[in-house]
Amino acid sequence: MSKQFDVLVIGGGPGGYVAAIRASQLGFSAACCESNPYADPKGEPRLGGTCLNVGCIPSKALLHTSHLFEEAGHAFAGQGIKIGTPEIDVPAMKARKDGVVNQLTSGIKGLLKKNKVTFLAGHGSFVAKEGDFWKLKVGEEEVLAKQVIVATGSKARHLPNLPVDNKIVMDNEGALNQESVPQKLAIIGAGVIGLEMGSVWRRVGAEVTILEAMPDFLAVADQDVAKEALKLFTKQGLNIQMGVKIGEIKADDKSVTIAYESKDGQAETLTADRLIVSIGRNPNTDGLNAEAVGLQLDARGFVEVNGHCQTNLPGVWAIGDVVRGPMLAHKASEEGVMVAELMAGQAGHCNFDTIPFVIYTAPEIAWVGKTEQQLKADGVAYKVGKMPFMANGRALGMGEPNGFVKMLACAQTDRILGVHIIGVNASELISEAVVAMEFGAASEDLARICHAHPTLSEAVHEAALACDKRALHF
């Protein structure tokens, strides 16, 4: 007899496990299946998806350790702390990162249990529609579910004809698991992974060169922020080359040589000990047997969905990296909650206009809403309020004077349209802007709110005041 559920979620990442928990909280019998190769001590696939196993969490753990190392080597002396020259122990740094990952991934199994979600270890794929149910295979088992949520996530995109061995030529998995510091590290793609991983390995001693195809650095970010970031990252020692055309790449078991054409048309070669390929990610839809049931995919393999994450099939939904929109853990989780609530007849909601973006470099970069270049392109009249951290007492006290907060508000209504931050703890500061925008606040609303002193959040307050040309401290 097949197992039967109201809801089967395929994929146990931040989209899938959150959707399954919320569905169960709303009274559905829910199961979540997962098939990744990151086995736990019981030999079962770990939950948490890309995010917990080989994404957000391990990268932030390494960013933290490498930041402390850099601070110890370069910032402590300036604050009167003498410790001599610090040394990095890469296996210990990696072991700490693995410990954090283990703790969190096993915690998710506990969360499923607590919320009465059945965990099924195995690869999920569609078989057919049978009456009110979808018939699926999970591993070798047959499972029936009234509703299915596809949350199968994404995998690293690779370059054609360049096999990834995760020793010399790496994607995100190898980049996070290096056992030693490469002397020379090449990175293809100056996107989020390139910048975060480039920062980690530069801080601990690698000479890092990043080759990027696009002419403009961080084209998706506000260009004021992108310009400041490029200046600061270059000063830190990241060699970022924009507008390059990658040619032949030769790798053996010791090194890799990349032939490329520079922005000004010069033929160049770069030889490095290791290479990280971070050129975006592809959706995981190839193993779903989508064609057997007619699940519609777009030309790039993403599951086609509407604003409510409904696919073309009744009772089949899709969320997270496997559908359109930014590939972010919190976006996947938001969609998971929305779908579970819609299934329960509630007013599920995901505001795609207020999803925050963060890049965890030093300084951090964070934004929400429209960039200045988008507002110009849309012909929207706007005003700008800007506050540099150089004029913020807390930032100076922390020895973190770089960056600024930039607020964009509608010239007519004063409604906040976008907030862009580059600076220390930007990842935390952006939440205030997200809340303000979610509630449709005007810059005047933030300007009238009392902010504790001395805090970095006063820079957000001052940026709001500056929208009305009445900044008090700049």
Could you tell me how many residues of this chain bind ligand NAI (CB under 6 A)? 23
Taking CA atoms, 108 is separated from 39, 248, 439, in Å, by 14, 43, 31
Structure tokens at 440: 């449709």
| Catalytic residue from among 74, 308, 349, 453 | 453
Q: Which does 13 bind (CB under 5 to 8 A by kind): ligand NAI, ligand FAD, none?
A: ligand FAD
Distance CA 61, CA 84 (A): 24
Structure tokens at 310: 């409904």
Give the nearest distance from C-beta 420 to ligand NAI in angstroms. 15
Chain residues 92-131 in contact with ligand FAD, contact rule CB under 6 A:
123-125
- The DSSP secondary structure of 162-230, one letter per residue, reads ----SSSEE-HHHHH--SS--SEEEEE--SHHHHHHHHHHHHTT-EEEEE-SSSSTTTTS-HHHHHHHH
Give the nearest distance from C-beta 54 to ligand FAD in angstroms. 6
Give the nearest distance from C-beta 89 to ligand NAI in angstroms. 25
Residue 62 makes contact with ligand FAD by CB under 6 A: no
Give the nearest distance from C-beta 199 to ligand FAD in angstroms. 12
Give the nearest distance from C-beta 197 to ligand FAD in angstroms. 7
Q: Which residues contact 143 (CB under 8 A, 6 or more apart)?
A: 2, 3, 4, 5, 8, 31, 33, 120, 124, 135, 136, 137
Q: Which is nearer to ligand NAI, 13 or 385 (CB)?
A: 13
308 is catalytic: no
Length of the chain: 474
Chain residues 294-333 in contact with ligand NAI, contact rule CB under 6 A:
326-328
Distance CA 175, CA 166 (A): 7
Distance CA 251, CA 234 (A): 27
The interface mask with ligand NAI, positions 331-360, x = CB under 6 A, is ---------------------------xxx
Chain residues 195-224 in contact with ligand NAI, contact rule CB under 6 A:
196, 211-214
Number of DSSP helices (H) and strands (E) in the chain, helices first? 14, 22
Binding stretches for ligand FAD (CB under 6 A): 10-16, 33-36, 49-51, 55-56, 59, 123-125, 151-154, 172, 193, 284, 287-288, 320-321, 327-330, 332
Active centre residues (catalytic): 453
Binding stretches for ligand NAI (CB under 6 A): 188-194, 196, 211-214, 246, 278-281, 326-328, 358-360
